Amino acid sequence: MNDGSPTASEPDALDTVTISFPVDCKYVGGHSALGKHGHHFRIEQGRIGYGELSLTHSIPLTDVATVVVAQREVEESMAGGPVLAAGLMAGGGGILSTKHPRVTTDITVRTRDGQEAQWTVEQRDGDWVRDKLAAALRQAGIRLD
């Protein structure tokens, strides 16, 4: 007997995920159906992709094989540019001290056809991103690494 509640097989029943303002999250390419760049990360109504205010570029979750979340640290100089090596600034040549590393987390969505869509999430660690994605991916039967 159906009480009107959505079931897990209905797209609307899947958890939705949005990584957007105030978090800086950018799609940086990798999948032909999604284009080359965009803003935010979204899982909505059985689809995964991006869009400024809603999901505008997406692929079906059924096309996704795995999702990989990897945290990295990027050191920046006091002047705000990336440190190349041993405290030398790109293009400057002077030695500057560095501030604390900036945390960046990469999301890689691997599709069954071998493509890899890439997002970068600034100032959020890997655990935060995994926590955001875990329930929706589990519901869709997608492995989260």
Indicate which CATH number applies to the domain containing 73. Answer: 2.30.29
Domain that holds residue 108: 11-144
CA 13 to chain centre: 22
Residue 5 lies in a domain: no
State the average pLDDT for the chain.
Answer: 83
Residue 74 lies in a domain: yes
Residues whose CB falls within 8 Å of the CB of residue 1, separated by 6 or more in sequence, listed in order: none
Tell me the C-alpha distance between 75 and 96, whole Å: 12
Count of the separate structural domains present in the chain: 1
Residue 32 lies in a domain: yes
- Record the pTM: 0.75
Q: How are beta strands 64-74 and 143-144 bridged, if at all?
A: parallel
Residue 137 lies in a domain: yes
* pLDDT range class, residue 8, cuts 50, 70, 90: very low
Residue 128 lies in a domain: yes
**pLDDT score for 74:** 79
Residue 4 lies in a domain: no
Residue 100 lies in a domain: yes
Tell me the C-alpha distance between 69 and 97, whole Å: 30
pLDDT, one tens digit per residue, over 51-71 is: 999 999 999 999 999 999 999
Cβ atoms within 10 Å of 31's Cβ, excluding its own:
21
* pLDDT range class, residue 106, cuts 50, 70, 90: very high
Residue 6 lies in a domain: no
pLDDT at 25 over 90: yes
Q: Which two tokens stand for residue 103?
A: 């945390």
* Mean pLDDT value of segment 109-130: 97
